[in-house]
Structure 1
Amino acid sequence: MNVLHNSPQIRYPIGFGQTVLIALVALGLTACSTPPRTKPATITDRSTPVASAPAQEPVPPGFYRVKRGDTLIRIALDNGQSYRDIAAWNNITDPNLIEVDQVLRVKPPPSSARVVTKPIEPIKPVDSKASTDKKVAAKKVEEKEVASAEPKADAVDPPIKLSWPAKGKVVEEFNEAKNKGIDIAGKMGEPIQAAADGKVVYAGNSLRGYGNLVIIKHDNTYLTAYAHNRTLVVKEGENVRKGQRIAEMGDSDANMVKLHFEVRMNGKPVNPMQYLQ
Structure 2
Amino acid sequence: MRNVVVSLITITVLLGVSGCSFQANTPAPVETLYTGKTYKDKMKGSLKQSRYQVQSGDTLYSIAWASGRDFKTLAKLNNLHSPYTIQPGQTLNLSGQLPKPRPVRPSTKPNKISKVPKPAQSQTVTKTKQKENAKSVDPKKSQGYASTTNSQFTNNKSTFDGSGKISRWSWPTKGKVIASFSSTAQGRQGLDIVAREGSPIVASAAGKVVYAGSALRGYGQLVIIKHNDEFLSAYAHNKKIFVKEKQEVKLGQKIAEMGSSDSDRVKLHFEIRYRGKPVDPMRYLPKL
TM-score (normalizing by structure 2): 0.50
Q: In 1, distance between residues paired with 2:74 and 2:255?
A: 20
Tell me the equivalent position of 2:50: 67
Which residue of structure 2 aligns with residue 185 of structure 1? 194
Partner of 1:176: 183
Contact 2:53 2:88 in 1 (8 A): no
CA RMSD, Structure 1 to Structure 2 (Å): 3.8
Count of paired positions: 170
Q: What residue identity is the alignment partner of 2:228? A: D
Aligned to 1:211: 220
Counterpart for residue 89 of structure 1:
80
Deviation at 1:159, TM superposition (A): 6.5
SS of the equivalent of 1:79 reads coil
Secondary structure of 1:273's aligned partner: helix
Alignment match, 2:243: 234
| Counterpart AA for 1:167 | K
Would you say the 8 A contact 1:183–1:259 is kept in 2?
Answer: yes
Q: Which runs of structure 2 are paired with 1:1-277 in the superposition (5 Å)?
A: 66-67=49-50, 72-77=60-65, 78-81=68-71, 89=80, 93-95=86-88, 97-98=90-91, 161-177=168-184, 178-277=187-286
C-alpha change, 1:247 and 1:210, in structure 2 (3 Å) is same
Tell me the alpha carbon deviations over residues 195-240 of structure 1, each in whole angstroms, 9 at most, x when there is no partner: 1110001101111111100010111111110000011000000000
Partner letter of residue 71 of structure 2?
Q
Q: Distance in 2 between matches of 1:85 and 1:100?
A: 9
Unpaired runs of 5+ residues, structure 1, are: 1-64, 111-148
Structure 2 match to 1:25: none
Q: In structure 2, what is the equivalent of residue 133 of structure 1?
A: none
Shift of 1:69: 7.2
Return closer, same or farther for 1:184/1:160 CA change in 2, 3 Å cut-off. farther
Greater share of helix: 2
**Cα distance in structure 1, aligned partners of 2:181 and 2:235:** 14
Unaligned runs of 5+ in 2: 1-47, 55-59, 103-159
Cα distance in 1 between the residues matched to 2:191 and 2:232 = 15
- 1:247, 1:82 → 2: CA distance? 27
Q: Decide whether aligned partners of structure 1 residues 100 and 223 sit closer, same or farther in structure 2, where only a CA change above 3 A counts.
A: closer
Alpha-carbon spacing, 1:180–1:69, altered in 2? closer, same or farther (3 Å): farther
Contact in 2 for aligned 1:80/1:223 (Cα 8 Å): no
Q: Percent same amino acid among aligned pairs? A: 44
- The offset of 1:179, in angstroms, is 0.5
- Residues 80 and 222, structure 1, Cα contact 8 Å, conserved in 2: no
Describe the shift of the 1:84–1:226 C-alpha distance in structure 2 as closer, same or farther (beyond 3 A).
Answer: farther
User: What is the alpha-carbon distance in structure 2 between the residues aligned to residue 104 and residue 93 of structure 1?
Assistant: 20
Q: CA deviation at 1:249?
A: 0.3
Residue 104 to residue 196, structure 1, CA distance change in 2 (3 Å): farther
Say which SS state the counterpart of residue 224 (structure 2) adopts.
Answer: strand
Q: Distance in 1 between the 2:97 and 2:198 partners?
A: 38
- For 1:273 and 1:70, the matched residues in 2 are separated by 35
Q: Please tell me whether the aligned partners of residues 80 and 266 of structure 1 are also in contact (alpha carbons under 8 angstroms).
A: yes
Give yes or no for contact 1:82–1:202 (8 Å, CA) kept in 2: no
Equivalent AA in structure 1 for residue 219 of structure 2: Y
